[in-house]
Amino acid sequence: MCIDCAEQRPLLAHPLPFTNVMSHQPSSTPHRILSAVPLASSAQAPIPRGGRELDKFFKALSDQTRRSILRLLRHRELSVGEIVGNFRLSQPTISRHLSVLKEAQLVTDSRSGQHVMYRLSPEELARGAGRFFIHFDECQDLLTRG
């Protein structure tokens, strides 16, 4: 699926390695040329493909509690009870935050006896970020070169 349009022409691989998003054009020559004047009333808002996934991705990251949970899971998996012990919030609240993170595929879970263990999905973190920052050449430079 082209990230810039819905055409079915052959796709070019994108120079950035950490994403599988592809376009018909190399990133330095944008596919959509913006007109200086407002588009006609029939114009669609330029919603990029994959917006739903990016919504989930950034919505999940836009809450401080959820970001803290991700940081807790940096180096090893934890059960729900262990995560709850690090916050002042109730267990159902943490459980719902975890379901949001799981919905965004930022964490995965598995049952281990009585406990449900949660662990980070760092590749999904990188993939989501890549899918967005792919649109910003200068950002790519800053992120990849420093």
Tell which one of 11, 16, 22, 89 touches DNA (CB under 7 A). 89
Angstrom distance (rounded) from CA 82 to CA 116: 10
Quick note: the x/- pattern for DNA over 60-79, rule CB under 7 A, is: --xx-x-------------x
Do residues 29 and 48 make contact, with C-beta atoms less than 8 angstroms apart? no
Residue 46 binding: pick among a copy of itself, DNA, none (C-beta 5-8 Å cut-off by kind): a copy of itself
Of 70 and 84, nearer to DNA (C-beta) is: 84
Angstrom distance (rounded) from CA 8 to CA 39: 24
Tell which one of 86, 90, 110, 144 touches DNA (CB under 7 A). 90
List the interface residues with a copy of itself, window 27-66 (CB under 8 A). Answer: 30, 34, 36-39, 43, 45-48, 51, 54-55, 58-59, 61-62, 64-65
CA 82, 87, 90, 94 dihedral sign is negative
Of 11 and 50, nearer to DNA (C-beta) is: 50
Q: Which two tokens stand for residue 79?
A: 């059960």
Task: Please give the helix or strand (H or E) that residue 79 lies within, else none.
Answer: strand 78-79
Around Cβ 134, how many Cβ atoms within 10 Å? 21
List interacting residues with DNA (CB under 7 A). 59, 62-63, 65, 79-81, 84, 88-93, 95-100, 109, 111, 113-116
